[in-house]
Amino acid sequence: MKNAEIQSGISRRDAMKMMTTGSAAGLLGLFASPQARAETKVTPSYTAGMPPVKITDVRVIATAPEGSNLVIVKIETSEPGLYGIGCATFTQRAFAVITAVEKYLKEFCVGKDVDNIEDMWQSAYVSSYWRNGPVLNNAISGIDEALWDIKGKRAGMPVYQLLGGKCRIAVDCYAHASGPTPEAVVENVQRFMDQGFRHIRIQQGGYGGVGTMEKQPDFKAAGFGTDRDQFMDQRTYISRVPKMFEMVRKRCGEDVQLLHDIHERIEPIDAINLIKALETYHPYFIEDPFSPENMLWFRQLRNTTTVPIAMGELFNNINEFRDYMVERLFDFIRIHISQIGGITPAMKVARLGEWFNIRTAWHGPGDTSPVGHAANAHIDLAAWNFGIQESHFWNEKAQAVFPGCQTYKNGYMIINEAPGLGIDIDEKEAARYPIGTMSNWTVRKNDGTIIRP
C-alpha cells in the first residue's frame, strides 16, 4: 500500500469495491471531511443488535452480615435498570479498597463502554503506574466481576456460558470440619459425610491449633504484645496433626477425601517433614505449606514427598503462579479471586493450569463475599481442570443481603442460574450491618516472636 492508503486505512481496490457496490458509508468515509467521517462511524460488529452501553456510576456497598467486612462494587449503566456487582472484599483493609474505588476507579470508569472487559482490566491495572497489591487488585476485581455480571445480563446467560459453558453438573465442594479435639473433628467429619460431602478439611482448633494450646505462653505472662494476640506452639501442632489424621481415617474410613491447611505457620523444613508423615493417610491435598517468602523450598518438598499440595491464596499477581506451575511444584491453585483482580485474570491462571494438569481449588471462606463465591463457581463450572471448591454456609442475614446466594446439596454448590453472576445485593439490608476496622492476625510463639500466617 502507498502512504496515503496506509493513513486512510483503505486500499485502492477497497475503494473501487465500495464505488461499484454503492456503499454510501464507504463513499462518505473516503471523501468526507475528518469531522463528517467521525460522525458516520460504523457501529462495530460486536455490538450489532445491541445499543452501546456506558458506565454512568461506580458505587461501593460495604456490609458485614456475618461480622466479616464484605465490599461490593456496583456499576450502573446508561441502560435503565442494567447494573452489575462485583466482589472487592479485602476484609482486613476494607476502607482502603473503598477509597481506591471511590476516589480513583470511579472516575477512571465512568463514560467507558461496558463491553470491553479485557481492555478495562489491562488499563485499570496500569492506571496507577505502580500496580499490584491487595488494595488495588480488590478494587479492580470489583469492577471486573461487575462487568462480567453486566455482560451476562446483556447476553441473557449465566457467566459460565460466556466462559465456554459447563464442564460438569455442579461444583463439588469441601466442607470444614474443625474442633478442639480429634474426637470433635471426627464428629464433624461424620456430620458432613452424612450431608453428602466427599471432601472435608480437618483442623484441630484454629490454624496451627490456635486457641487449643494448653500451655500459657511466656509472652503473655511477661505482658508482651496485646491481650488479643494469639499463641501457637509449633511443636505441639506438628505432633497433633498426624494423630488427628490417624483418628479420622480409623473412624471415618478410607473413602472420604481429607484436606488440611498448614497456613504457613511452621518452619519450612518442619512443613516438609510433617507432610511426609501424612503420606500414609493419603490426603487429597495439604494447603499452604510455606509463606510466600519461602517459595524456593518447594523444590525440596517435591523431592521429598508426593502428597498433593495447594498453594497461592496470598499471591498478588498472576505472574507469581507461572514459574511454579510450569515446574509442577504444586497441584492445586488456591486463588482468592478478588485478591488476584477478578474473573479475567483468574481465568488465565485456570487455563494455564490445564496445560500442566494442575487443578483449581479457589479460596472460598466467609471473607469472600457471596458475589465472589458466585464468580468462583462460574469459573469452576467452565474450567476443565477444576479440582475442588471451598464452601461456606451463609447465615440468614447474609442470605437476606445477597438474594441468589449459593446453597449446597449432596456436597455440591448450587448456584442461581439467572443471567450474569446470578446474585444480587439488597442495599437496605446491607446497610443494617456496618463494617469495622478490627482484624486480628497476630499470632506469636512462646517467646513472643511473630508467626507469619
The residues assigned a catalytic role are 207, 263
C-beta closer to Mg ion: residue 145 or 288: 288
**Shortest Cβ distance from residue 335 to Mg ion (Å)?**
11
- Closest contact distance (angstroms) between CB of 439 and Mg ion is 16
CB of 263 to Mg ion, least distance (A): 6
Q: How far is the CB of 406 from Mg ion (least distance, A)?
A: 20
Q: What is the CA radius of gyration of the chain?
A: 25
Q: Does 288 bind Mg ion (CB under 5 A)?
A: yes
Here's the x/- map for Mg ion, 105-134, by CB under 5 A: it reads as ------------------------------
Which residues in 298-308 are b (16+ Cβ under 10 Å) and which e?
A: beebeeebebb
Residue with smaller CB distance to Mg ion, 248 or 259: 259
Looking at beta carbons only, is 192 or 285 nearer to Mg ion?
Answer: 285
Pattern of binders to Mg ion over 161-200, x per CB under 5 A?
A: ----------------------------------------
Residue 380 as a binder of Mg ion (CB under 5 A): the answer is no
- String marking each residue 252-281 x if it binds Mg ion according to CB under 5 A: ---------x--------------------
Other C-beta atoms closer than 10 Å to the C-beta of 36 total 11
Grid cell locating 425: 445485593
159 vs 173, beta carbon nearer Mg ion: 173
SS3 453: coil
Nearest CB to Mg ion, comparing residues 208 and 345:
208
| Alpha-carbon dihedral angle through residues 395, 396, 398, 402, given to the nearest 10 degrees | 130
CB 222 within 8 A of CB 214: no
Contact status: 424 vs Mg ion (CB under 5 A): no
As beta bridge partners, residue 178 has 203
In 327-368, where does DSSP find H-type helix?
Answer: 337-340, 343-356
Residue 273 or 291 with smaller CB distance to Mg ion: 291
Instruction: Give backbone dihedrals phi and psi of 423, rounded to 5 degrees, phi first.
Output: -140, 150
First to last CA, the chain: 61
The CB-of-293 to Mg ion minimum distance in angstroms stands at 16
Report, in Å, the least distance between residue 232 CB and Mg ion. Answer: 15
143/173 with CB nearer Mg ion: 173
**Nearest distance, CB of residue 241 and Mg ion, angstroms:** 15
Alpha carbon distances (Å) from 41 to 25, 38, 150, 214:
8, 5, 25, 74
Task: For the segment 289-328, give every residue that binds Mg ion (CB under 5 A).
Answer: none
What CA–CA distance (Å, rounded) separates 369 from 367?
A: 6
| CA distance linking residue 435 with residue 262, whole number of Å | 29
Site size for Mg ion (CB under 5 A) = 3
Strand intervals (E) in 216-364: 230-231, 257-261, 285-287, 309-311, 332-333, 359-360
User: CB–CB of 84/149 below 8 Å?
Assistant: yes
Instruction: List residues binding Mg ion (CB under 5 A).
Output: 261, 287-288
